[in-house]
Amino acid sequence: MNGLIFLIPVALGMGGLGLAAFFWSMRSGQYEDLDGAAQRILLDDEDAA
């Protein structure tokens, strides 16, 4: 029972962290160009070019 006081906030916190991470990734445009991201890995480093 005492464990719950500790574990429940941890469970909620981790879920909340995931949610916050998802919101952040959406706002910063991580999903704007999914195909492009897959292609860009094949590009040489732009400084080297």
Q: Does 22 bind another protein (CB under 8 A)?
A: yes
Q: Does 49 bind another protein (CB under 8 A)?
A: yes
> Residue 30 CB, nearest distance to another protein (Å)?
12
CB within 8 Å of 31: residues ≥ 6 apart: 25
Q: How far apart are CA 18 and CA 31, in angstroms?
A: 16
CB within 8 Å of 25: residues ≥ 6 apart: 31
Interface positions with another protein (CB under 8 A) = 1, 4, 8, 11-12, 15-16, 18-19, 22-23, 26, 32-36, 39-44, 46, 49
